[in-house]
Amino acid sequence: MQQPEPEPQSFDRVLSSMCTEPHPAARAAAERFLATNPGDPATYEAVADLERRAVEGLATLSAHPTPGDAAGYVTSGGTEANVQAVRSARNRHDGSDGRHGGKAVNVVAPTSAHFSFTKAAEVLGVELRTVPLDDDYRADPDAVAAAVDDDTALVVAVAGSTEYGRVDPIPELAAVAGEVGARLHVDAAWGGFVLPFTDHAWSFADAAVDTLTIDPHKYGQAPVPAGGLLAREDAALDALAVDTPYLETRSQATLTGTRSGAGVAGAVAAMDALWPDGYREAAERAADNADWLAGELAARGYDVVEPELPLVAAAVPESTFAALRDAGWKVSRTGTGELRVVCMPHVTRSALRAFLDDLDRVRR
Ligand code: 0PR
pLDDT, position 146: 98
Provide mean pLDDT across the span 316-338.
96
Q: What's the average model confidence in pLDDT over 17-25? A: 97
Ligand 1 atom nearest the C-alpha of 330 is 27
> Mean of the per-residue pLDDT values for the chain?
96
Residue closest via CA to ligand 1's atom 10 equals: 78
pLDDT of 3 reads 87
Across the strands, what pairs with 183?
154
Q: Whose CA is nearest to atom 17 of ligand 1?
A: 18
**Radius of gyration of the chain measured on its C-alpha atoms:** 21
Pure H helices in 23-169: 24-32, 45-61, 78-93, 116-124, 141-147
The reported pLDDT for the residue numbered 95 is 61
Kindly tell me the burial class for residue 138, based on how many C-beta atoms sit within 10 Å of its own C-beta (0-12, 13-18, 19 or more). buried
Which domains does the chain possess? 24-274 (3.40.640.10), 276-363 (3.90.1150.10)
Average pLDDT of 230-254?
92
Q: What angle do CA 123, 124, 129 make, to 5 degrees?
A: 100
Q: Does 43 score more than 90 pLDDT? A: yes
Are the C-beta atoms of 231 and 66 separated by less than 8 Å? no
pLDDT at 344 exceeding the cut of 70:
yes
Within a 13 Å sphere around the CA of 231, how many CA atoms are in the beta-carbon half?
Answer: 21
> Of 76, 82, 114, which is best to mutate to test ligand 1, by the most ligand atoms within 8 angstroms of its C-beta?
114
**Residues framing ligand 1 (Cβ under 6 A):** 17-19, 77-79, 82, 114, 116, 158, 162, 187, 189-190, 215, 227
Closest protein CA for atom 20 of ligand 1: 18
pLDDT at 335 over 80: yes
Quick check: 284 pLDDT over 80? yes
Q: Which atom of ligand 1 is nearest to the CA of 227?
A: 14
Whether omega before 225 lies within 30 degrees of 0, making that bond cis, reads yes
CA 17 – ligand 1 centroid, Å: 8
Confidence of residue 286 (pLDDT cuts 50, 70, 90): very high
* Strands of the sheet with 106-110, listed across from one edge: 71-75, 227-231, 211-213, 183-187, 152-158, 106-110, 127-131
Q: CA 197, CA 192: separation in Å to the nearest integer?
A: 10
Residue nearest to atom 16 of ligand 1 (CA): 162
Going from the Cα of 332 to the center of ligand 1, the distance in angstroms, rounded, reads 13
* Structure confidence by residue, pLDDT tens digits, 173-189: 999 999 999 999 999 99
Residues 268, 220: Cα–Cα separation, whole Å: 10
pLDDT tops 90 at residue 318: yes
DSSP string of 192-207? GGTGGGS----STTTS
Nearest to 191 by CA among 17, 14, 18: 18
Q: What is the pLDDT of residue 236?
A: 97
pLDDT above 90 as % of the chain? 92
The whole model's pTM is what?
A: 0.97
Q: What is the per-residue pLDDT across 247-281, written as a single tens digit (0 to 9) for each?
A: 888 899 999 999 999 999 999 999 999 999 999 99
What percent of the chain is modeled with pLDDT above 70?
Answer: 99
Identity at 346, one-letter amino acid code: H
Task: Pick the atom of ligand 1 nearest to 215's CA.
Answer: 14
Residue 295: other Cβ atoms inside 10 A: 12
Question: What's the gap in Å between 343 CA and the centre of ligand 1?
Answer: 14
Which pLDDT tens digit goes with each residue over 90-134? 999 976 677 777 788 999 999 999 999 999 999 999 999 999 999
Question: How many helices (H) and strands (E) in the chain?
Answer: 11, 15
